[in-house]
Amino acid sequence: MFIMTGGAGLIGSAAVWYWNGKGIDDILIVDHLGTSDKWKNLRALRYCDYLEKEDFLTRLRAGDFDRTAVEGIIHMGACSSTTERDATYLVHNNFEYTAALAEFALKRGIRMIYASSCATYGDGSLGYRDDENGIEALRPLNMYGYSKQMFDLYAKRRGWLAELIGCKFSNVYGPNEYHKGEMRSVVLRAYEQITASGVMKLFRSYRREYADGEQMRDFLYVKDAVAMLWFLFRHPEAHGLYNIGSGRAETWNALVRAAFAALGREEKIEYIDMPEHLRDRYQYYTCAEMDKLRKLGYTQEATPLADAIRDYLVNYRSRELHLGD
């Protein structure tokens, strides 16, 4: 059996979809469905059981899974909001939960992959290299990034990174993110704004070296993200931290132009003021260094931005489809 936490979320449900494509459906999905629409991500997936995250953690600590044959744990469950201000909640949800699951896995020799984040790199002044050496010097710009950094550091201090795999995801987007509210990607926001008004709004730049809309990000299609997860799981020699990104820095303008082109609309971009509370926590450039994954033998190139956006908006969002539908 596989345990997939966050299995109803964007990356988690996409991973279940990908595992299903490999003929694997003996999967326990763990998540918190609440009142959101992410339950719709589960409808087309094959899995053996579902548990709410608190019920799962209670049963885990009670020893209910001690005699269960678990082949792997893919821990994607987390609060991924970069604007979340409740630090106590983030510590409980992103740090303590991950630590409990990792301890369970390591004691039983179960292979475990967990979600870290490129948000741990902060302003990028120290680069975007997925090397455990020197991660103590990183300074995340928001509490979400720091909650991920907390566990990376904890795992390093305890020697766990010799067995665990921590995935530093870049800006992942794609089908199955429709439920994410304020955390939905700019690709999805572009679809919504362009189809509603014909205009896309982007934040102005507050740094002279970047023109408006020329801020840069490493954007990654979710189908590519889960292909990388599968590759890492299938290589037992893999351990430590790995970037999960495209390895390309592309502008918000390029992303939005690709969305206009995919939808067959005339390009109209409006630049608006960035809220003051975001200005000192805003990343102007991210680009995951992918050499470590390449050296392990991963050769597949990330889907080009325009192709990925077209696939997403034309084949999924415009038809209101989820992965597997």
CATH of the domain at 47: 3.40.50.720
CB 286 within 8 A of CB 244: no
Token readout for 314 is 């034309």
For residue 143, the SS3 value is: helix
**pLDDT of res. 87:** 93
319 in a structural domain: no
Domain count, the chain: 1
Q: In whole angstroms, what is the distance from residue 65 CA to residue 59 CA?
A: 7
Question: DSSP secondary structure string, 243-288?
Answer: EES-S--EEHHHHHHHHHHHHT----EEEEPPPHHHHTT--SB---
**What is the model's pLDDT at position 82?**
81
Amino acid identity for residue 322 in this structure: H
- For residue 115, being part of any structural domain is answered with yes
Q: Which residue has the tokens 């709004």?
A: 201
Q: Are 108 and 131 in contact (CB under 8 A)?
A: no
Q: What's the mean pLDDT when you consider all of the chain? A: 95
Token pair in block for residue 158: 């305890």
What pLDDT score was predicted for residue 278?
85
Three-class secondary structure assignment of 15-39: HHHHHHHCCCCCEEEEECCCCCCHH
Any domain includes 213: no
| Domain span holding position 138 | 2-173+219-246+285-303
By percentage, how much of the chain surpasses pLDDT 70?
A: 100
Report the pLDDT value the prediction gives residue 84, as an integer from 0 to 100: 83
Q: What is the pLDDT of residues 292-301, one digit of tens each?
A: 999 999 999 9
Q: What is the mean pLDDT of residues 285-292?
A: 96
Give the pLDDT mean for 18-47.
Answer: 97
The separation between CA 144 and the C-alpha centre of its own chain, rounded to angstroms, equals: 12
Query: In whole angstroms, how far apart are CA 143 and each of 81, 140, 146, 239, 271?
Result: 9, 7, 5, 25, 27
Q: How many residues does the chain have?
A: 325
The answer to the question of residue 160 being in a domain is: yes
Cβ pair 114, 151 in contact under 8 A = yes
CB 219 within 8 A of CB 171: yes
Active-site residues: which are they? Answer: 144, 180
User: Tens digits of per-residue pLDDT, 226-240?
Assistant: 999 999 999 999 999
Q: How far is CA 158 from CA 82, 84, 106, in A?
A: 27, 28, 11
**Which phi and psi angles does 157 have, rounded to 5°?**
-60, -35
Assess if residue 40 is contained within a domain.
yes
Amino acid at 79: C
| Per-residue pLDDT tens over the stretch 173-226 | 999 999 998 889 999 999 999 999 999 999 999 999 999 999 999 999 999 999
Residue 244 above 90 pLDDT? Answer: yes
What is the reported pLDDT for 193?
A: 97
How confident is the model over 87-135, as pLDDT tens digits? 999 999 999 999 999 999 999 999 999 999 999 999 999 999 999 999 9
137, part of any domain: yes
pLDDT at 280: 83
Is 283's pLDDT higher than 90? no
Residue 277 placed within a domain: no
Residue pair 112/155 in contact (Cβ under 8 Å)? The answer is: no
Interatomic CA distance for residues 288 and 233, integer angstroms:
20
Q: What percent of the chain has pLDDT over 90?
A: 93
CA 241 to chain centre: 14
Say if 90 falls within a structural domain.
Answer: yes
